[in-house]
Amino acid sequence: MTIETKAPCRVDLAGGTLDIWPLYLFHEHSLTLNFAVTLYATCRLEERSDSRISIRSRDQQVREEFTSLEDLAGRGRYRLPLPALLVKFFRPERGFDLEVDCQAPAGAGIAGSSTLNIAICAALSRFTGREFEREKLREIAQNVEAQVIRVPTGCQDYYPALYGSVNAVELTPGGVRRQQLQVDLEAFQSRVTLAYTGAPRNSGINNWQVTKLHIDGDRRVFRNFERIVEIALAMRAALEAGRWAEVGRLLGQEWSHRRRNCPTISTPLIDRLLQAARKKGAVSAKACGAGGGGCLLFFVHRGARRRVEEEITRLGGRILPFRVATRGVEVVVS
C-alpha cells in the first residue's frame, strides 16, 4: 500500500495570535481570517514487509531510521520530531517508509509545519485505520505540535490545510468554528502578492511573548487585541462584500496594532520593503504569522501588482507565486 497526501499552506489576514487558547476567551467575538494558498506540504507513505520505520524530509534533507515502533517510541530525542511524535501517537502496527516535503521556505510564516502536520496525520490515519472527523484531526495535530515547539499553539493554521479556501475561524467559549467566506477569488487574487524576505523566524517565540504579556495583565496588549478583533470583524464583512479598498485599509491597521504588541515582529528589511512597495502601488502589507522575518503579504491597487513585485525583487525579496487553494488535504491510496 502507498498513501500520498498533500495539504495547502495558509496566509493570515487578520486576528492572528487570538487563536491561542485562552486569549480569545478574553475578547468577545474573537475571529481569525486566513486563506489557503497553492504552496503545499506533501507526504508519501509506503508500506514495508518488515517492522522498520524510515522517515525522510526532502526539504530539510534529514533522515531517521528505526528498527520498530518500540524503538521509535523509546527514544527521547528526534532529528525530525514532528513526524516521529505523530507516528508515536498513531502507533501503526506495520513498518513503512515516510517521505515528507514542503514548498514553503523555512520559517516563512505561512504555516508550513502545521500544514505538513495535517498531511502526515491524514496519511497515518488512513494507514492505521484510525479515521477521525476533521475537527478531531485538527485537535490531534495542534496538540502534537505543542509537544514539538514546547509553547502553546494556535488553531487557525490547520483549517486552510483541512478545507482550503478563505476562512473565518470563530473563537468562542463554546468551541472553535470554521466558516468558509464567499469571496470573489479572482478579484481578491489580483490584489494580493506574497514575498519571502529570506530571513526565517520562530513563530513560537513571538507568539509566546505576546501571550505571556496578555496573561500577565498588560493593558496595552489587551487594548491592541480589542482593536484587532474589531478590525477582523470589519474585514470579514468587507471581503464578502468585495469592498477592496476597505480590505486594504484594514490590513494596514491590523499590522499597525500587531507591531505595537511586539516590536520585534518587524525588521529593517521588512520596513524597507513595505515603504518601497507603497510607492509602487501597494495599499498596505503585513508580515505573515508571527513576523520577525518570513513572508510578507502585500495588498495592492488593481493593476499595480507587477510593479510592486518588481520593486520587491529589486530590494532582495523573493516573490512566491500562488493561487488561492480551493481544496484542503487530499489523500490518494494505491
| CATH code of the domain containing 167 | 3.30.230.10
Give the three-state DSSP class for 300: strand
What is the model's pLDDT at position 208?
A: 76
Q: Answer yes or no: do 138 and 271 share one domain.
A: no
| Torsional sign, CA 261, 251, 103, 91 | positive
Task: Provide the residue range defining the domain that includes 78.
Answer: 2-180+325-333
Mean pLDDT across the stretch 70-94? 96
Q: Which three cell numbers stand for residue 81?
A: 520530531
Share of the chain above pLDDT 70, in %: 95
pLDDT at 163 over 60: yes
What is the model's pLDDT at position 28?
A: 95
pLDDT at 38 over 70: yes
N- to C-terminal Cα separation, the chain: 6
Share of the chain above pLDDT 90, in %: 80
Q: How many helices (H) and strands (E) in the chain?
A: 11, 12
pLDDT at 53 over 70: yes
Mean pLDDT across the stretch 9-37? 95
pLDDT at 24 over 60: yes
Q: Answer yes or no: do 306 and 273 share one domain.
A: yes
Q: Answer yes or no: do 81 and 39 share one domain.
A: yes
User: Which range, of 73-77, 120-124, 231-235, 259-263, averages the lowest pLDDT?
Assistant: 259-263
User: Which range, of 93-102, 266-275, 289-298, 301-310, averages the lowest pLDDT?
Assistant: 289-298
Q: Which residue has the higher pLDDT, 145 or 205?
A: 145
Q: Answer yes or no: do 126 and 235 share one domain.
A: no
Q: Answer yes or no: do 156 and 201 share one domain.
A: no
What is the model's pLDDT at position 106?
A: 80
Spacing of C-alpha 34 from chain mean position: 9
How far, in Å, CA of 81 to CA of 96, rounded? 17
Q: Answer yes or no: do 143 and 198 share one domain.
A: no
Please tell me the total count of domains within the chain: 2
- Confidence bin at 294 (pLDDT 50/70/90): confident
Q: Answer yes or no: do 232 and 117 share one domain.
A: no
Write down the mean pLDDT value for the chain.
92
pLDDT at 297 over 90: yes
Q: Answer yes or no: do 230 and 313 share one domain.
A: yes
What is the model's pLDDT at position 200?
A: 59
> Long-range contacts for 312-315 (Cβ within 8 Å, ≥24 apart)?
312/193, 312/195, 312/273, 312/276, 312/277, 315/272, 315/273, 315/276
How far, in Å, CA of 192 to CA of 248, rounded? 10
How far, in Å, CA of 252 to CA of 286, rounded? 7
pLDDT at 211 over 90: no
What is the model's pLDDT at position 130?
A: 93
Q: Answer yes or no: do 7 and 119 share one domain.
A: yes
Q: Answer yes or no: do 307 and 216 share one domain.
A: yes
User: Which range, of 17-26, 237-246, 288-297, averages the lowest pLDDT?
Assistant: 288-297
